[in-house]
Structure 1
Amino acid sequence: MSLYEKIVNKQEKISVIGLGYVGMPIAVAFAKKVDVIGFDLSKYKIELYKSGIDPTNEVGDEAIKQTTVDFTADETKIKEAKFHIVAVPTPINSDKTPNLAPVEGASTIVGRNLTKGSIVVYESTVYPGVTEDICIPILEKESGLKCGVDFKIGYSPERINPGDKVHTLEKIIKIVSGIDSESLEEIAKVYELVIEAGVHRTSSIKVAEAAKVVENSQRDINIAFMNELAMVFDRMEIDTNDVIKAMNTKWNALKFYPGLVGGHCIGVDPYYFVYEAEKLGYHSQIILSGRKINDGMGEFVADAIIKKLVLANKVVKQAKVVILGITFKENCPDTRNSKVADIIKKLDEYGIKPIVVDPQADKDDAKHEYGVNLIDLDDVKDADCLVFAVAHDEFKNMSWDKIDSLFGDFANNEKVIIDVKSILDRFEMEKREYSYWKL
């Protein structure tokens, strides 16, 4: 009987290592079909899940309350499983090089608890070669077992889009790979239990690793192009969105828009690809150029804020700037690698300490990550400038009366509104005579 059959018959279990925005939805999805152990180093996170609370908002509290996932911070429980999914983050260091400490640590933990006949599948984003050159040696060392003989390994990159309730885990085609044809089929069949869209089998683990970093690098480059256009159009006094709307009337337009590029995927993955390329003697030209543009957008927006404050006759150092949103994307509580932080940092150079509001973000996370004390929207008053930095529904649905109530008692042409996500009506802004700027 194959491992897949044993898992389906509940003679063997699946373990998911790392229960964040990627791992937790996978664990919950599999638990609807088979027995699942969900492991995370954070005892605090485990207690939240056991209490029926979903801090990620990916599946919701009700799904957490109903799931049969065995949530644990005890690594020895991993021994009860034979199919292991590693879904830990892979961030970058301050020098933009890959930080593989989380995936190496997870490999050590899995290795200590690995048994014969197991399959280990990595979902963490890495550059081509990490799974075989770095992870396998750690698993072998810690377990005393031999890869290909005593256990098998595979790679299946995560493709979850945080906060997206349409393109959910089950509806996104899953890329799968294995160290040999046997493991590839076992891994594919296991994922087919929950992936309604089906799986795509790749020819090798390296191909699967490369596919993930390339698909996000492609998006990064396209957004960088739009950001560069936005900076030029700003000087030309042309509305970037109007240009994009006109361009998108053609059937083959790609429909990308300018904006802040943060998060744990698009703003990170290109650096993994570039790192490995440079090790092989190739210096990236297009990818690094795109990264440079996108990494500079926070500073560009901050400079626009300063310019509009000056034009509105504000004393810059005394201006009360309110930033609406600090998460890396709309309708998502994830603050990791948020480029809104770059706006805050640049404003600080001008002596401005902005007030930050974000109903989606966790206040403790914002304080820990960026030293920002979030306040409630209802506590905002006497603002000189509102910066719509993230397109949360709460901000998109604000009435004009509510927006106006956040400002001080002065003429509309002295009320500065910065619309990073182009969520406000430009014509309405002009009609109301606000001092308005959008990316």
Structure 2
Amino acid sequence: MFQELIDKKEKLAVIGLGYVGLPIALEFARKISVIGFDINSKRIDMMKQGIDPSNELDKKAFEGCDIEFTNSLDVLREARFFIVAVPTPVDEHNVPDLTPVKKASETIGKVIKKGDYVIFESTVYPGCTEEDCLPIIEKLSGLKNRLDFKSGYSPERINPGDKKHTLSSIVKVVSGCDKESLETVAKVYELVVKAGVHKASSIKVAEAAKIIENTQRDLNIALMNELSIIFDKMGINTYEVLEAAGTKWNFLKFSPGLVGGHCIGVDPYYLTYKASELGYNSRVILAGRYINDNMSLYVARKVVRHIISNVSDVKSARVLVMGATFKENVSDIRNSKVADVVKELKEFFLNVDVVDPHADSEELKHEYGFGLADGIGKDYDAVIVTVCHEPYADLDDAYFASITKPNALIADLKGIYRGKVKNRNYWSF
């Protein structure tokens, strides 16, 4: 299979062309023939024009690539090596929603042939690939895993907005259903991953490795958030504490903040869900999730308390929220905890303007029920800077004074303006 791909006698397909799938597809397309498959025809049309719907890649990223973008099963059927990179969200009850990955498995089941390979990259709980996905493929295709086709799992490590840690520069974990498939999967990924691959002993080990990467980060951030609550009650700035503690060589440098997005705020629930199925109720992981999921409420109420103390007519109060995406310098609003802050502020009948240089207003309206303000006004009673977008980095005391009332609060969640805001009330974690 590997040599056939190299010689362009066979094609590789990537199913799901979001922030994970598209970079993978384009990277492979510089080496071999690729089919980029997505069910969203609008996205397909944009990619055919060299436009990344996720706004992560520029037009140059599409140049020199041997790739065909399609939503046709007939075209997809031409591939022999399939990579699944669809999202794996949770529902409103934080229960894993396997609908996208199961639908992708159904798609593969309709087109897979004897001798083909299928590799999953979507983040799932250990056992999901073999227990939930492969049986669907076997049922629809009439083929048997290991005997008729090969399978594997290689967790994605794409970090939106990060131009340093890219696909080719991060070690890729790979796994296969047997020794033969492991070696083939490793060789294929080595085509595009300069940092090399790590061969996991099984698909379950690879799945588990991915899910604890984000669970570990979630717990460390939860600790910082809990410390920030405690230090706030003591009148201590958390970022100053972290600077001091960070002078020790083995101190882990994590920061407090809103934990949203499609990874850190989601993946731990996949692990705790599976643990619960096996009769074990997580304590530490869910405690971390509880803290991080409630930080939006904590921020909103901190602002509301200030407004109640300083504004005679609370319903006339105006709040500016700067930043709606889940992290800095990206357009991705999925699972953005900023939306929870806005919702809570509006529960107190406050007038809230939201601005963001990267987010799409219509997408925000569709997802959360509010859009972006036409511009930044004046006389705000509070400003909440939620993410450190590049255009916000150089704002100063004079700027915030120009858009706020004298008693306004500047809530700086990332500590960007610590020591800079002198003429307004200042608060950060």
If the length of structure 2 is used for normalisation, what is the TM-score?
Answer: 0.97
On the 8 A contact 2:6/2:31 being kept in 1, the answer is: yes
Q: For residues 270 and 315 of structure 2, what CA distance do their matches in structure 1 show?
A: 39
Quote the residue 1:205 is aligned against.
Answer: 203
Q: Which residue, 401, 406, 425 being the options, matches 1:404?
A: 401
Q: Is the 8 A contact 2:258 2:337 kept in 1?
A: yes
Supply the AA of the counterpart residue of 1:208.
Answer: A
What are the superposed Cα offsets for residues 80-112 of structure 1, whole Å, 9 maximum, x if unpaired?
A: 111100000000011111100000000001110
* Structure 2 Cα separation of the partners of residues 296 and 289 of structure 1: 11
Query: 3-state DSSP class of the match of 1:284?
Result: coil
3-state DSSP of counterpart to 1:126? coil
Contact 2:397 2:423 in 1 (8 A): no
2:426 matches 1:433: no
1:423 corresponds to 2:404:
no
AA partner of residue 380 (structure 1): G
Aligned with 2:147 (options 146, 149, 157) = 149
Q: What CA deviation, in whole Å up to 9, does each residue of 1:321-351 have, x standing for no partner? A: 1111111110111100011111011112111
Distance in 2, Cα, partners of 1:354 & 1:65:
42
The 8 Å contact of residues 312 and 416 in structure 1, kept in 2 or not, is answered as no
Q: Secondary structure at the match of 2:359?
A: coil
Q: Give the superposition deviation at 1:268.
A: 0.4
Match of 1:76 among 68, 74, 92: 74
Aligned-pair identity in percent equals 52
In 2: Cα distance, 1:66 partner to 1:416 partner? 51
Residue deviations 1:172-195 (CA, integer Å, cap 9, x gap): 110000000000000000000000
Q: Give a deviation string over 1:285-344, Cα, whole Å, max 9, x none.
A: 100000000000000000111122234335322111111111111011110001111101
**CA distance in structure 2 between the partners assigned to 1:380 and 1:358 by the alignment:** 14
List aligned pairs for 1:20-99, cutoff 5 A.
20-64=18-62, 66-99=64-97
In structure 2, the partner of 1:264 is: 262
8 Å contact kept, 1:156–1:177: yes
Contact 2:401 2:423 in 1 (8 A): no
Determine helix, strand or coil for the equivalent of 1:355.
Answer: strand
Q: CA deviation at 1:399?
A: 4.5
Partner secondary structure for residue 84 of structure 1? strand
The residue correspondences of 1:34-433 to structure 2 (distance < 5 A) are 34-64=32-62, 66-313=64-311, 315-377=313-375, 379-407=376-404, 410-411=405-406, 414-424=407-417, 426-429=418-421, 432-433=422-423
The CA distance in 2 between the partners of 1:67 and 1:386, in whole Å, is 45
Q: Residues of 2 paired with 1:417 and 1:12: CA distance? A: 58
Separation in structure 2 between the aligned mates of residue 101 and residue 16 of structure 1, nearest angstrom: 18
Contact 1:39 1:78 in 2 (8 A): yes
Whether contact under 8 Å (1:86, 1:120) holds in the other structure is yes
Distance of 1:66 and 1:311 partners within structure 2: 60
Secondary structure, aligned partner of 1:153 = strand
Determine the C-alpha separation between the residues in 1 that align with 2:51 and 2:381: 38
Specify the SS of the correspondent of 2:330: coil
Once the two structures are superposed, residues 48-68 of structure 1 have per-residue CA deviations (whole angstroms, 9 ceiling, x without a partner) of 111221222322222235533
Change (3 A) 1:374 1:65: farther
Q: What do the CA deviations read for 1:208-242 (whole angstroms, capped 9, x no partner)?
A: 00111111101100100000000010100001011
The number of residues matched between the two structures is: 429
* 1:373, distance to aligned residue in structure 2 (A): 1.1
Question: Partners in 2 of 1:63 and 1:375 — Cα distance?
Answer: 32
Give the letter for the 2:268 counterpart. Answer: P
Q: Match of 2:411, SS?
A: strand
Shift of 1:402: 3.7
Instruction: Find the aligned partners of 2:70 and 2:7 in 1 and give their Cα distance.
Output: 23
Gap regions ≥5 residues in structure 1 = none
* Structure 1 residue 395: Cα displacement: 1.4
CA contact under 8 A between 2:396 and 2:420: conserved in structure 1? no
Tell me the distance in 2 between the aligned counterparts of 1:121 and 1:183: 10
1:264, 1:428 → 2: CA distance?
33
Distance 1:353 1:111 in 2: 51
Shift of 1:398: 2.8
- Three-state SS of the structure 1 residue aligned to 2:354 is strand
Structure 1: distance between partners of 2:345 and 2:62? 40
Does 397-406 or 112-121 show the bigger shift?
397-406
CA deviation profile, 1:339-391 (whole Å, cap 9, x unmatched)? 111101111211124111011112222111111111344x4333222110111
What SS does the corresponding residue of 1:106 show, helix, strand or coil? helix
Instruction: Extract unaligned runs of 5+ from structure 2.
Output: none
1:282 aligned counterpart, secondary structure: coil
| Distance in 2, Cα, partners of 1:179 & 1:60 | 36
Root-mean-square deviation (CA, aligned residues, Å) is 1.3
What's the offset of the Cα at 1:74? 1.2
Q: How far, CA to CA, are the matches of 1:242 and 1:398 in structure 2?
A: 20
Letter in 2 for 1:101: T
Deviation at 1:78, TM superposition (A): 1.2
Code of the residue aligned with 2:225 in structure 1: it is N
Q: What residue identity is the alignment partner of 1:437?
A: W
CA offsets, 1:384-416, max 9 Å, x none? 221101111011133544433333xx43xx122
